Amino acid sequence: MTLKGIAFDLDGVLTDTARAHYRAWKRMADQLGIPFDEEANEALKGVDRMGSLALILGDRPGYDEARRVCLASQKNDWYLEEIAHFGPGDLFPGARAALEQCRAAGLGIALASASRNAPLLIARMQVADLFDTIIDPASLAAGKPAPDIFLAAATALGADPAEMLGVEDAPAGVEAIHAAGMKAVGVGTPAALPEADWIIPAIADFDLRDYAD
């Protein structure tokens, strides 16, 4: 395929904030007396903050919109405490090289993360200058697995979705990439990401020559 742009997820692809998210959600769930463990946390992969909260709360009564917003804000405060000391060393091995390879090939590069803290993280890890655009998830009508964030990335880069790749580590992200009309590179295992067009074990294995003419 001929590529003009590429959209990267952040968590689980370029860096690992999963433990930080888990500890923050776990702290909130414990405070509310809701059972929550690492297995339950798997269902939150690729899901935005309010969507994740909805999954944790389920159909429990007493959580109106105002209280949900408050809970989500508290969780974010705890998460920010967890990532306060992130820096370049928190990038996965090969992450900078993958971005630089895309830049050298003349591709437009978008960050398509459900995290509203993504701009802060890439700035702390000193790779913000390698992105042409950062899609704000707050500006979208729907989060992953809806295609909105990847369609926004294509629009921002001036590329047709068919001329773009998306790089994701979560099934919801792969579904969103395909719904946008793009091909998907999955970071993980075939068992975890059976719908991805290509699978790499880690971002260190990313090589544009495998996906483009």
> Which residues carry out catalysis?
9, 11
Q: Does residue 78 have a known ligand-binding role?
A: no
Per the annotation, does 10 bind a ligand?
yes
Strands laid side by side in the 183-187 sheet = 133-134, 108-111, 5-8, 164-168, 183-187, 198-200
Q: Is 168 annotated as a binding residue?
A: yes
Whole-number Å distance between alpha carbons of 20 and 194: 26
Q: Is 9 annotated as a binding residue?
A: yes
Helix ranges restricted to H, 125-200: 148-157, 171-179
**Is 183 annotated for ligand binding?**
no
37 is in an annotated binding site: no
116 annotated to a ligand binding site: yes
Rounded to whole angstroms, how far apart are CA atoms 197 and 174?
9
Does 198 belong to an annotated binding site? no
**The two three-digit tokens of residue 126, written as one number:** 């000193």
75 has binding-site annotation: yes
Which residues 6+ apart lie within 8 Å of 52 measured at CB?
25, 44
User: Residue 87 has which token pair?
Assistant: 């820096």
173-184: string of b/e by CB count within 10 Å (b at 16+)? bbbbbbbbebbb
7 phi/psi in degrees, rounded to 5: -120, 120
Q: Is 40 annotated as a binding residue?
A: no
The rounded distance, in Å, linking the Cα atoms of 58 and 119 is: 30
The annotation status of 41 as a binding-site residue, yes or no, is: no
Residues annotated within a binding site for Mg(2+): 9, 11, 168-169
Residues annotated within a binding site: 9-11, 25, 44-49, 52, 75, 113-117, 144, 168-169
Residues annotated within a binding site for substrate: 9-11, 25, 44-49, 52, 75, 113-117, 144
